[in-house]
Structure 1
Amino acid sequence: MKNKAVVLGANYYIGLSVIRCLGIYDIPVVAVDYSKQGTYGFHSKYCSERLIAPHYKKDSEGYLNFLIDYAKKQDKPPVLFPCADPYIEFVDKYLSTLRQYYLITQTEQGLYTKVMNKDTLNDLALQHGVLVPETVEIGDENFKEKVEELIKFPCLVKPTDSPAFVSTFRQKLFKVYSMEELESAIKKSTDANLHVIVQRIIPGFDDHMHTFDAYLNQNAKVTHWTTCQKFRQFPINFGASVYTGQKYFPDLYEISAKFLEDIGFKGFAEIEFKKDASTGDFYLIEINVRTTNLNSLLFKVGLNMPFFAYSELTGDPVESYAIKENTNLVFWYAYEDILAVREYIKTGQLKMSQVLKSYFKPKAYAIWDWKDPIPAFAFLGQLLCKIFKKIK
């Protein structure tokens, strides 16, 4: 009997992609969420079990006990796949306990949090010689002078705890154009008990955003990797990938692999960089320490990251390899890309002819899959219900 794979989060396409990546190998996949509403991942034919658990934040102790009780009933320890940042934070908080019952790629408690937190990530990057955008702390001496001389306007007000910030404001950051706007953004954040930093905007359009996507084994060595280039994001300019292509950038491997190995990282990681349009330097923006939005693209180019993790943790590791060529494949999240395109055109950043030309590439879809179509119809149903409610 195979170890089960327990996937935390089925209400977004990241969880759905993990379910599919494992299910195609007849691995028993257990999808866990706190509600049936909106969990279109539950509709995948690759789900062997669908479980409703207590809310990970509202009842974290109940959620922990739920996971422990489930694991205790299994013949073999399940492999745990947290598929959103709040689940990562939960797993990191209870890592020593969960590892008694589950197989988990990360072994160092606190490392996930250290890498997700913008303050500690910046410190780690600088210690290891990786460029990060110039940053000023809110409590710094001569704060205003530093912002005006070092950062300059417009600039970014970014949270150190991204999941909490997004949960509060439904956006990843504030872009401000004056000292008055900066002070207002800082007040909003502090009133919500959220710590923020002020950062320089690296020049360049959204296609200057690049990613290094890798799996690191239990010896903290990069075994599988590729690089990608973003074309469009949503929200535009400072959002998540909605149209991104696999493209080989050897420089990113040289910067990223050594850094991840040096900090002892294990499991899947995606480093986001922005290439400075003026200097050509790559600046580290953030690291995703869970399966990425681009997982369906990685799978299609030959890198099934969830399966690599499952295989290694259950004693049958997959041979190392990397994608060192341009495949011309793109990831497409159609729903949000349509919203993004409207904003790009409205703000004059793209022309419709450029957008239409970009679509003539082979695609890896965020939700749609010919072999597993029902989740896409479930998602479409949810979308139509939202539209109907707004019209009503």
Structure 2
Amino acid sequence: MNNRAIVLGANYYIGLSIIRCLGSQGIKVTAIDYSREGTYGFASKYLDEALIGPHYKEEPKALVDFLIEYAKKQKYMPILFPSADPYVEFIDNYLVELKKYYLIPQTEKGLYTKVMNKKTLHKIAEDYGVLVPETVRLNEDNFIEKIEDTIKYPCLVKPVDSPSFVSRFRKKLFKVHNKQELEQAIKKATDENLEVIVQRIIPGFDDHMYTFDAYINQENKVTHWMTCQKYRQYPINFGASVYTGQKYTQEIYDLGAKFLEDIGFKGFAEIEFKKDSQTGKYYLIEINARTTNLNSLLSKAGLNMPYIAYRDLIGSPLKPKGITHDTNLVFWYAYEDLLAVKDYIKTKQLTLTEVLRSYFKPKVYAIWDWKDPKPSFVFLNKIMKRILKKVFK
């Protein structure tokens, strides 16, 4: 295994988990970020090289040139791993140039961006017969009437382009309860030149959220997969996984595998579904076209997805595998879960007893690892600085 792995982004635990998954297999890993400040993935013992490069958004062409020059110095073609949505969009935009120098799973330019974009994803899902939440777009006739008659309040104002929205508002969407709040939310987004849609809220608590995590090989077949059930997320109700368990759900596999193969997807993907608490039907919510929050859980359960992708791309694929039993393992991002728990209890969606009872499961941690502890201490230092800054302000 002579090909070096290049991880784009090391300032969040997803990048750290990719570094660990590959480095622990003896692969030389280089991580590239635009700053060293708070970039705790650089502290991993599994990292062979840490580099500072141009910013993916401020200087995208410079980053392309940086990556190409780096790859030219390598004896074997490196393999590129994005750790966040903006890096996925960056690779998708420059896929033709980058594939000349890097091994990258996707072969269709623009497909990753299409499935990350809420508007185009919904069109694709509808074309392939997959349920999505009822949606109204701002340019439709009788826009308000459709919301009041079909969508109904409360409802969600969601971005078409999630990374840009999250970067600006530090949240994934706006929840609105009436016409006035709806108009205010739309104005906030449009003032920032961000396109939004309005969606019905699928009924059900956060534990009605499920994920299908899969690797689709270069022959467009799902070779490795696992299904999970969310227990808590942050921000609550409409956020990212902070306490999620592996849960074998055949129906999620049946829906997810067929859809990804049908649309010609290649590489790693995570589809989020929500089960309607009234009808029992599963609705496709979004697709993450990259390694996700749950990567450490997948690895602990027996699916080292970055290594699976690495082996597939170098032409030495691992034997197919799906997790078809319940392991009882739970992913835990303690820092944000504690913030979430406070809000769940405050809004009376959970009791303290229910929360405490949930912790009696074997856990896989987002950042902490006994074999690689240094990143955790760098992360704690980052959090302490943030707290002290707020206190003194």
TM-score by length of 2: 0.99
Displacement of 1:315 in angstroms is 1.5
Deviation sequence 1:91-145 (CA, Å, 0-9, x none)? 0000000000000011110000000000000001011110000000101011111
Q: Does residue 379 in structure 1 map to residue 379 in structure 2?
A: yes
Partner of 1:161: 161
2:251 counterpart of 1:254? no
Aligned counterpart, 1:47: 47
Regions of 4+ moved over 3 Å? none
SS class of match (1:47): coil
1:364 aligned partner: 364
In structure 1, what is the equivalent of residue 346 of structure 2?
A: 346
Give the structure 2 partner of residue 287 of structure 1: 287
Match of 2:85 in 1: 85
Instruction: Please name the residue that 1:390 is paired with.
Output: 390
How many residue pairs get aligned? The number is 392
The letter for the 2-side match of 1:279 is T
The CA distance in 2 between the partners of 1:204 and 1:112, in whole Å, is 29
State the one-letter code of the partner of 1:116.
M
Q: Name the counterpart of 1:181.
A: 181
Residue number in structure 2 paired with 1:129: 129
Q: Secondary structure at the match of 2:389?
A: helix
Report the equivalent of 2:37. Answer: 37
1:272 matched to 2:272? The reply is: yes
| Matched residue, 1:171 | 171
Query: Any idea what SS the aligned residue of 2:198 has?
Result: strand
Aligned to 2:146: 146
Give me the TM-score of the superposition, normalised by structure 1. 0.99
Matched to 1:34, the amino acid is Y
Quote how far apart the aligned CAs of 1:146 are.
0.4
Could you say which residue in structure 1 is the equivalent of 2:321? 321
1:113 and 1:24 map into 2 onto residues whose CA distance is 31
Q: Deviations over 1:304-342 (max 9, x none)?
A: 000000001112100101000000000000000000000
**CA displacement at 1:277 relative to structure 2:** 0.5
Q: Which residue of 2 aligns with 1:98?
A: 98
Counterpart in 2 of 1:240? 240
- Report the 3-state secondary structure (helix = DSSP H, G, I; strand = E; otherwise coil) of the residue aligned with 1:237: coil
Structure 1 residues 238-286: Cα deviation after superposition (integer angstroms, max 9, x where no partner): 0000000000000011111111001000000000000000000000000
Distance 2:111 2:97 in 1: 16
Report the secondary structure of 2:204's partner residue: coil
CA RMSD of aligned residues (A): 0.6
CA distance, structure 1, for counterparts of residue 5 and residue 382 of structure 2: 27
Task: For 2:183 and 2:143, locate their aligned partners in 1 and report how far apart those are by CA, in whole Å.
Answer: 11
- Say whether 1:28 aligns with 2:11: no
- The residue matched to 2:48 in structure 1 has which SS? strand
User: Could you tell me how far apart the structure 2 residues matched to 1:376 and 1:193 are?
Assistant: 37
Q: Distance in 1 between matches of 2:365 and 2:169?
A: 28
In percent, how many aligned pairs have the same letter? 68
Q: Corresponding residue for 1:9? A: 9
Amino acid at match of 1:257: A
Structure 2 unaligned runs (5+)? none
1:144-168 deviation line (CA, Å, top 9, x unaligned)? 1100011000000000000000011
- The Cα of 1:390 is off from its aligned counterpart by 1.2
* Cα distance between partner residues in 1 of 2:57 and 2:148: 39
Which one-letter code corresponds to 1:165 in the other structure? F
Q: Tell me the amino acid that sits aligned with residue 150 of structure 2.
A: L
**Partners in 2 of 1:288 and 1:60 — Cα distance?**
21
Alignment of 1:103-118 (within 5 A): 103-118=103-118
